[in-house]
Amino acid sequence: MKNDFFGREYDIAPAGGETGQAFVATHEDEKFFLKRNSSPFLAALSVENIVPKLVWTRRVENGDVITAQKWVNCHILTREEMIGPRVAQLLAKIHHSENLQHMLAKIENCYFSANQLLQHVKVATEANNDVTKEITDAIHYLDQHVSAVETTDYVVCHGDVNHNNWIISEENELFLVDWDGAMLADAANDIGMILYQYIPRKEWNRWLANYGTTLTTDLHRKLKWYTICQTVMQLTTDQSDEANERAKQIFQNAIEDDEV
């Protein structure tokens, strides 16, 4: 497959991933990561050095928008590497960035309260004919506690912080990629999915200290609630077998947390 960008013919190859929207483009010694219809939020993330540098954006004849980012030779973080302080620190940088919050707020329908997220979950489960009692009980739990986790403090959340979206370049730069699910919501949306998935319970306080906060009862309740909410949504939505198994395990970890 070949395509012409700015007078140069590039070889285009799929970059993998579940959406089929990502490609690798090469021309002589140039190499880019291309994505079709990526989030318009990508430019702000590039400026903040959260993602590899955005090189150009182009609208093609069929109306799609193609973005090209600097190709980064990298490795994906392992599950064990998620425990390290750099992940917590970069996530805190994202959550506390007023510039990112300002830029994302320009995109329509990006704010999600706890109640809005719960309504999305209910709609998804109502459309699913294979809802287990465990999921039904989880929704009852979410209903019971939604008022206790509501917030007016919205931050930029990634929405899919599993280790496959964290990469380290050969220059030792840490990036968080794949921002198609970005939203303004409670920080617990991201933090909980990392803690319940990767961080041993005895390490939670240390990880949160690296993030810049402490584990209070209120925060713990939010972490559990938002993690259950996210995983129920995932488990009632079509996704790969790998993603489904991952969601099941995180869901179980959160449901079995009886400390709050």
29, 130, 143, 160: the catalytic one is 160
| SS3 call for 216 | coil
Contacts of 137 (CB under 8 A, 6+ apart): none
- Give me 148's structure tokens: 């206790």
Alpha carbon distance 92, 212 (integer Å): 7
- Whether 160 is a known active-site residue: answer yes
Long-range contacts, 48-54 (Cβ 8 Å, 24+)? 48/93, 48/94, 48/97, 48/99, 48/100, 49/173, 50/90, 50/93, 50/94, 50/100, 50/175, 50/176, 51/175, 51/176, 51/177, 51/179, 52/169, 52/175, 52/177
Instruction: Tell me which residues are annotated as active site.
Output: 160
